[in-house]
Chains A and B, each alone.
Chain A
Amino acid sequence: MIEVIGLTKKFKEVTAVDNVSFKVDKGEIVGLLGENGAGKTTTLRMISTMLKPTSGTAKICGLDLVNEPDKVRKKIGILFGGEVGLYDRLTARENIKYFADLSGLSSEEANRNIEFLAEMLDMKEYIDRRVGKFSRGMKQKVAIARSIVHNPDVMLFDEPTIGLDVSSSAIVQDFILDCKKKGRAIIFSSHSMREVERLCDRVVIIHKGRIVYDGKIEDLRREYNGEDLEKVFLRLVGDKDE
């Protein structure tokens, strides 16, 4: 469903992502693990067509992201961490509707999806209130609904739980698992091995723009004789420093 092929991004002299290739299947969660500045966000921005790759490409549902970025965008939903990125002066419904409209959904389709999501995420009570005064958890639900309102086949999560408290994190993690159940292909970036361990089927460890490990979590554990995975991660990214 997602096939990343030799993706490379250079910013002037710096190579942020260097010849990265990996695959994600339907209903699979792949963890993109790396330290800050390893190239996770840049990789996800390229897959979501926000940045143009210097070389290489990726195929999303068979569509080439360099040649057909518009079609690719229809297939992707993104949920990026940090600021939730909502318009405070619009209501929750208007926020979601705006992105549904911009994704090319018909008005009936948009309204139907919003009703469904309001039910699913338990937001009916406040869907018509302005988001400015919402709690972080409420905002997070609106952001989730917005990311998925156009029914994408592929979901990209960039450190979505960063800065969230336990209950808000749980909302996001439940959502990711729900996406998996619905057969979406998911890339989930994080700098925490614990989170990746809990959610992901496979892990791609990236360091200084290069892939240093790509495989199943069990295989990783087996390879290092049941050692604590946090330590394995540190060893993997540490080795390359020398």
Chain B
Amino acid sequence: MNSLWGIVFKKELKDLFRDRKTVIMSVLLPLVLFPLLFGLIGKGVKSTTEKVAKEVKIAYIGEESSFKNFLSSVPNIKIVETKDYQEEVKKGTIYLAVVVEEDFDEKLSQEKMSDIKIIYDSESTNSQTALDVVKDVINTYKDEVVKGRLEKRGIDVSILSPVDVKNEPVNREKAGGGALMLTMLLPLYLIIYAITGPMAAAVDLGAGEKERGTLEPLLTTQASRMQLLFGKLFAITVMGIIGTTSSLTGLYIAFKYSMDFMGDVGLKISIGSLVLIGVTAIILNMIFAAVELAVSIYARSFKEAQTYLSPVTIIGMIVAYGTYMMDVKSASTMMFNIPLANISLIIKEFIIGVYNPMHIVITFVWAIVYIIAAILFARYMFSREEVVFRT
């Protein structure tokens, strides 16, 4: 790699990797952010739920009844004596109170309807958890009562369930149930990371070069502006791809170890799909790297570059979220002509293992058009004297 752009490329990467701030922000932080976040949330949720479920402290208000006996027989429910149950639920010393109306057992034996009121705190997660537990208990109790009534009349209980529903996805072998979630999230994340990943590098190598005063001596070397541009562009793209990779790795670790639901569902993506998704991610990074570099060259300083780049982020996010819920199976070929939406759709197709040559060709041709347009835009900025010497 002795060509001039190669020299620029190598130097820029070395420079970027020596910047502790850039390395931390674009490589380390994305890698640990999601696992940490998910881990902490997961752990917090798990521990409180476990604590409540272990000993559900409730109050029972009303006369002795068969229901009270049933409640007491549930091992993790603890009935607490209380004077002012409203106040205690509010304070959280008990999670909820069950209020049973008068003559409960008598009405029950007469096969009349009986009321059970549950007093709980809608602002407390502990109370919510207890509510779920108690509702389950009540449902079991209800079933018992119904069973008794039917048996008295000599009717089999199975009469109550005429239909048994079983869900069976048609595409079980192709991709697991996790695929649906992945088709929604992965395009979104890939677009967002392609925008945010190259940004710090783009600001540094464009506006930063101007602000440091290194651009002028650089322009009097043998390197042409296009060679400088390509060296910088590839260095920025590499930073973007590294950012995307570490973000996705972080996300994967988070899902895998903190939530358990991704691994169990058995997500299967073929190697071919992974390669195609990787290529698409590289293209996405190149597009945004070129756009961001052009904006950065136009800006006078770091600060200005950051200001100009925030709308780019917002526009990208809007498109990314716009395609988030889009169903790829009902998307028409026309949709593959819409910028970014087409990339989002093609990633969705790759995840579920659909390789439509027409869609792939349209999307990739457009992607190449975007890259060329973005590079031309960056070159235009770099060739204008009033832009390069604006300080």
Interface residues of A (CB under 8 A from B): 11, 45, 48-52, 70, 73-74, 76, 78, 80, 82-90, 94, 98-99, 101-104, 130, 146-147
- Which A residues are CB-close (under 8 A) to B8? 102
- Which B residues are CB-close (under 8 A) to A104? 222
Inter-subunit contact A85/B213 (CB<8 Å):
yes
Residues of B218-232 contacting chain A, CB below 8 A: 218-224
Closest Cβ of chain B: how far from A10's Cβ, in Å?
A: 11
Mark each residue of chain B from 169 to 202: 1 if its CB lies under 8 Å from any CB of chain A, else 0. Answer: 0000000000000000000000000000000000
Inter-subunit contact B216/A49 (CB<8 Å):
no
Sample of 17 A–B contacts (CB below 8 Å): A49-B220, A50-B220, A50-B388, A70-B222, A73-B221, A74-B222, A78-B220, A80-B213, A80-B216, A83-B212, A89-B15, A90-B15, A98-B11, A102-B4, A102-B7, A103-B222, A104-B222
Residue from A45, A51, A74, A87 with most neighbouring chain B CB atoms (10 Å): A87
Report Cα–Cα, A12/B386, bound state, in Å: 10
Mark each residue of chain B from 106 to 150: 1 if its CB lies under 8 Å from any CB of chain A, else 0. Answer: 000000000000000000000000000000000000000000000
B385 interface contact, C-beta 8 A:
yes
- Chain A residue with the shortest CB-CB distance to B214: A85
Inter-subunit contact A73/B7 (CB<8 Å):
no
Interface residues of B (CB under 8 A from A): 4, 7-8, 11, 14-15, 18-19, 212-224, 385-386, 388-389
Contact among B11, B215, B223, B385 with A51 in the assembled complex (CB-CB below 8 Å)? B385
Report Cα–Cα, A49/B219, bound state, in Å: 8
Report Cα–Cα, A84/B217, bound state, in Å: 10
- Which A residues are CB-close (under 8 A) to B388? 50
Q: In the A-B complex, list the 3 residue pairs whose CB atoms are closest, starting with the nearest.
A: A83-B213, A85-B213, A102-B221
Report Cα–Cα, A86/B223, bound state, in Å: 17
Report Cα–Cα, A88/B204, bound state, in Å: 12
Report Cα–Cα, A76/B221, bound state, in Å: 9
Inter-subunit contact B223/A102 (CB<8 Å):
yes
- Chain B residue with the shortest CB-CB distance to A52: B385
Report Cα–Cα, A147/B221, bound state, in Å: 10
Q: With A50-B216, A83-B212, A83-B213 known to touch, is A103 a contact of B385 (CB < 8 Å)?
A: no
Q: With A83-B212, A102-B7, A103-B222 known to touch, is A147 a contact of B385 (CB < 8 Å)?
A: no
Main SS of chain B's interface residues?
A: helix
- Chain B residue with the shortest CB-CB distance to A49: B220
Contact among B4, B213, B220 with A82 in the assembled complex (CB-CB below 8 Å)? B213
Closest Cβ of chain B: how far from A132's Cβ, in Å?
A: 10
Contact among B14, B18, B212, B222 with A102 in the assembled complex (CB-CB below 8 Å)? B222
- Chain B residue with the shortest CB-CB distance to A146: B217
- Which B residues are CB-close (under 8 A) to A103? 221-222
Contact among A74, A86, A101 with B214 in the assembled complex (CB-CB below 8 Å)? A86
- Which A residues are CB-close (under 8 A) to B19? 89
- Chain A residue with the shortest CB-CB distance to B218: A102
Report Cα–Cα, A52/B217, bound state, in Å: 16
- Which A residues are CB-close (under 8 A) to B15? 87, 89-90
- Which B residues are CB-close (under 8 A) to A88? 212
Report Cα–Cα, A99/B218, bound state, in Å: 7
Contact among A52, A73, A87, A101 with B212 in the assembled complex (CB-CB below 8 Å)? A87
- Which B residues are CB-close (under 8 A) to A11? 386
Q: With A86-B214, A87-B15 known to touch, is A99 a contact of B221 (CB < 8 Å)?
A: yes
- Which A residues are CB-close (under 8 A) to B212? 83, 85-88
Inter-subunit contact B216/A85 (CB<8 Å):
yes
Q: Give me 14 other A-B pairs in contact (C-beta within 8 A), A45-B389, A78-B217, A85-B217 excluded.
A: A45-B216, A49-B219, A50-B216, A50-B219, A50-B389, A52-B385, A80-B217, A83-B213, A84-B213, A85-B214, A87-B212, A89-B15, A90-B18, A99-B217
Q: With A51-B385, A85-B212, A98-B7 known to touch, is A73 a contact of B222 (CB < 8 Å)?
A: yes
Report Cα–Cα, A87/B222, bound state, in Å: 19
Inter-subunit contact A147/B214 (CB<8 Å):
no
Report Cα–Cα, A130/B20, bound state, in Å: 14
- Which B residues are CB-close (under 8 A) to A73? 220-222
Report Cα–Cα, A73/B225, bound state, in Å: 13
Report Cα–Cα, A78/B217, bound state, in Å: 7
Report Cα–Cα, A16/B385, bound state, in Å: 14
